[in-house]
Amino acid sequence: SIRVAERVRRIKPSPSTSAAERANQLRREGRSIVNLVVGEPDFDTPLHIRQAAGRAMEAGATRYTSLAGTLELRQAIVAKLARENGLSFDPGEIIATNGAKSAIYSALAATLEPGDEVVIPAPYWVSYPDMVLACDGVPVPVSCPEEQGFKLTPADLDAAITARTRWLILNSPSNPTGATYTAAEYRALAEVLARHPNVLVMTDDIYEHIRFEGGTAPHLLAAAPELRDRTLAINGVSKTYAMTGWRIGWAAGPRSLVQALDTFLSQAAGNCCSISQAAAAAALTGDQGFVAESVAVYRERRDATAAGINAIPGLSCRLPEGAFYLFVNCGALIGRKTPNGGRLATDDDVVMYLLESVGVAVVAGTAYGLSPYFRLSIATSIETLDDGVARIARAVADLT
Ligand code: PLP
């Protein structure tokens, strides 16, 4: 077979993709599978956004755009940042990318030298460490246990920073825990960062609107404006507007940094899809009713599913403040025995047992850097969730 580069051999495919593939394979074999792995909204993109894409296509928006994105889209992003986050940017400080994922990757590619460290609070989105590795950097996960609300403390941040630290990545609300930083918590982290002026900060704001405690999540830059000249704010339309397939994200930050992403992407990818850019602009400037409606649905599912999980002896989960996942503590199942004599030694074992015994697909905490947990997605129907919880209860009841 073909020898691939060390850069690629260092990284692993997304564990949620592998889990979904295993679940699909079992389903093809005729097993009844409840898939609670999905990381995308189960809603259709709102009609007015799809129509805007159709109009753009008819009007000839079918050519290369400026690399950073159309002025129309960047102005819509500028207006959004002002309106929703109280932040002031101009279009030259914004680059539209092929999803938030591409914004994060290009930022790392444009800044990391071999051996540079990136501080990543754990549990984290699975892609951060692998992206850092692909860019020759060193991921530095910092454990943020449940007792801390799965959040980074100022002391732990201080201890993690070294002379090699290039970035701190913050994701609030978080995938997989939903943990959301308050303005006061951001201030406390900013005080540590004040002592480390060379550390850049990336905020991954992709779940900012999937919030159960009312209103948009606080933004680091609103709480600590002094970080403006070294913070890159990453966001996109995937989760807020159910637009995962359209692939529009962006980065907003200091002009020189955004320019570096522009240079990198001009050779690595080119502009993101012209039609999707028109759709994203329509999403940002048009009627926002969908956001509140979908969050109300997620909230109902969160409450019902968390109550169901917390009623199962041996499982527990805190109520996430945002995003669409439950991060379930399965520590009390470790060491117990399955009906066919196996012993559950890790959360990977728990996840495999749930899949093989009752056909429920979830992702193990190991993938997110904190065990023993599993992540369950609530971006699916309440019937599916009820079925999933009932099956998990049966599987747990069968343990001795
Ligand atoms: N950031 C986090 C924390 C995510 O969970 C995801 C998607 O799963 C992304 C970024 C990627 O979003 P996009 O679809 O815009 O690339």
Q: 342-388 pLDDT, tens per residue? A: 999 999 999 999 999 999 999 999 999 999 999 999 999 999 999 99
Centre of ligand 1 to C-alpha 128, Å, is 10
Element (H, E) at 234: strand 231-236
Strands across the sheet containing 363-364: 325-329, 373-377, 363-364
Helix (H) and strand (E) counts in the chain: 14, 12
Q: Average the pLDDT over 275-292 and give the result.
A: 97
For residues 178 and 320, is the Cβ–Cβ distance under 8 A?
yes
- pLDDT (tens digit, 9 = 90+) per residue, 378-395? 999 999 999 999 999 999
Centre of ligand 1 to C-alpha 235, Å, is 8
Does residue 101 have its Cβ closer than 6 Å to ligand 1? yes
For residues 46 and 269, is the Cβ–Cβ distance under 8 A?
no
> In this predicted structure, what is the pLDDT of residue 23?
86
> In this predicted structure, what is the pLDDT of residue 12?
81
- pLDDT (tens digit, 9 = 90+) per residue, 178-197? 999 999 999 999 999 999 99
CB count within 10 Å of CB 131 equals 23
DSSP result, 321-384: SBSSEEEEE-GGGTT-B-TTS-B--SHHHHHHHHHHHH-EE-EEGGGGT--SEEEEE--S-HHH
> In this predicted structure, what is the pLDDT of residue 20?
78
Centre of ligand 1 to C-alpha 126, Å, is 10
Q: How far apart are CA 109 and CA 131, in angstroms?
A: 9
What's 269-315 look like in SS3?
CCCCCHHHHHHHHHHHHCCCHHHHHHHHHHHHHHHHHHHHHHCCCCC
Centre of ligand 1 to C-alpha 247, Å, is 10
Q: How far apart are CA 116 and CA 110, in angstroms?
A: 12
ipTM over 0.95: yes
Q: How far apart are CA 152 and CA 117, in angstroms?
A: 17
> In this predicted structure, what is the pLDDT of residue 19?
75
Does residue 100 have its Cβ closer than 6 Å to ligand 1? yes
For residues 119 and 160, is the Cβ–Cβ distance under 8 A?
yes
> In this predicted structure, what is the pLDDT of residue 106?
98
> In this predicted structure, what is the pLDDT of residue 43?
96
> In this predicted structure, what is the pLDDT of residue 24?
87
Q: Which atom of ligand 1 is nearest to the CA of 248?
A: 15
List domains and CATH numbers for the chain: 6-44+290-397 (3.90.1150.10), 51-285 (3.40.640.10)
What are the backbone angles phi and psi of residue 311, rounded to the nearest 5°? -85, -5
For residues 67 and 106, is the Cβ–Cβ distance under 8 A?
no
pLDDT greater than 80 at residue 17 = no
Q: Which atom of ligand 1 is nearest to the CA of 101?
A: 16
- pLDDT (tens digit, 9 = 90+) per residue, 243-258? 999 999 999 999 999 9
Ligand 1 mutation pick, 239, 276, 327, max ligand atoms within 8 A of CB: 239
Centre of ligand 1 to C-alpha 101, Å, is 6
> In this predicted structure, what is the pLDDT of residue 325?
98
> In this predicted structure, what is the pLDDT of residue 248?
98
Does residue 208 have its Cβ closer than 6 Å to ligand 1? no
Pairing assessment for the beta strands 231-236 and 249-252 based on DSSP bridges = antiparallel
- pLDDT (tens digit, 9 = 90+) per residue, 256-279? 999 999 999 999 999 999 999 999
Does residue 99 have its Cβ closer than 6 Å to ligand 1? yes
192: CB partners within 8 A, 6+ apart: 154, 157, 158, 161
For residues 309 and 317, is the Cβ–Cβ distance under 8 A?
yes
Q: Which residues pair with 141 in a beta bridge?
A: 120
For residues 123 and 373, is the Cβ–Cβ distance under 8 A?
yes
Range from 17-21, 40-44, 147-151 carrying the lowest mean pLDDT: 17-21
Amino acid symbol at 337 = K
Does residue 288 have its Cβ closer than 6 Å to ligand 1? no
DSSP-based three-state secondary structure for 185: helix
Q: Shortest CA distance to 309 belongs to which of 386, 363, 213, 399?
A: 386
pLDDT: which is higher, 226 or 27 = 226
Amino acid symbol at 177 = T
pLDDT greater than 90 at residue 216 = no
Ligand 1 mutation pick, 14, 17, 172, 175, max ligand atoms within 8 A of CB: 175
For residues 251 and 108, is the Cβ–Cβ distance under 8 A?
no
Q: Average the pLDDT over 144-148 and give the result.
A: 97
Q: Which residues pair with 236 in a beta bridge?
A: 249
- pLDDT (tens digit, 9 = 90+) per residue, 52-100? 999 999 999 999 999 999 999 999 999 999 999 999 999 999 999 999 9
Q: How far apart are CA 216 and CA 127, in angstroms?
A: 24
Q: What is the CA radius of gyration of the chain?
A: 21
Pairing assessment for the beta strands 360-361 and 325-329 based on DSSP bridges = unpaired
Q: Shortest CA distance to 353 belongs to which of 291, 301, 296, 397?
A: 397
